[in-house]
Amino acid sequence: MKNKRAILIIAVCVLILVLGNGLYKVPGQEEAMGSSSDKVSGYAWSDNIGWISFNCTDVSCTSSDYGVDVDLGSGDFSGYAWSDNIGWIDFSPNPPYPSAPNYSANYDSSTGEVNGWIRALSYGDSWDGWILLGDEVNSWTNQVSINPDTKEFEGWAWGSSVIGWISFNCSGPGTCQ
């Protein structure tokens, strides 16, 4: 319970940084919305694999230019995140998906929920690499969502026993306990 609480705090912090830095605008906000080319930034945390970076501007873009984008019209995510421990994470992987929902990461601006699948590309050795952000039919408490007031990610994704729970709420390395 203590670890889940710490992870939740971390996930909240990531979402604050990710959406609070002006790179991503959630539809319906008073300020000007960004375009579909705006990148998400910040970090997520997993006790099993450590930090996941959503944008090379969080670290350095000298060796690799990567980032996760959200199309504000369709809600579809695209691009890649990076983990030093498992490598690239694809936000628009190809089907077939392991179970419902049968689509990659998608943001529903009417509910704030983020549903669908992302995939670690280093899968293999009996590990499928799939990470579930949420499922509108079989959702769990605190699935990944975007808070319309703060424009920050909230909640948890599940990435099997290899990755475990991923908190989408921490501002960055060294800021969470």
pLDDT score for 26: 26
pLDDT digits (tens, 9 = 90+) for 96-139: 999 989 999 999 988 889 999 999 999 988 889 999 998 877 76
Give me the residue spans of the domains in the chain.
2-26+38-170
Between 74 and 21, residue with greater pLDDT? 74
**Do 87 and 50 form a contact (C-beta atoms < 8 A)?**
no
Q: Which of 60, 21, 49, 56 is nearest to 153 (CA)?
A: 21
**Do 66 and 79 form a contact (C-beta atoms < 8 A)?**
yes
How far is C-alpha 44 from the chain's CA centre?
Answer: 7
- Rounded to whole angstroms, the Cα distance separating 7 from 164 reads 11
Residue 136, C-beta contacts closer than 8 angstroms, at least 6 positions apart: 101, 108, 111, 113, 115
Band (pLDDT 50/70/90 cuts) for residue 11 is: very low
Between 138 and 166, residue with greater pLDDT? 166
Transcribe 97-163 into DSSP letters: PSSSS-SB-EE-TTT-BEEEEEEETT-BTTB--EEEEE-SSS--TTBSEEETTTTEEESEEE-HHHH
Band (pLDDT 50/70/90 cuts) for residue 173 is: low
Q: Can you give the pTM of this predicted structure?
A: 0.73
- 32 secondary structure, DSSP code: P
Percent of the chain with pLDDT over 90: 32
Query: What is the overall mean pLDDT for the chain?
Result: 75
pLDDT score for 32: 25
Question: Across the strands, what pairs with 152?
Answer: 147
pLDDT score for 81: 92
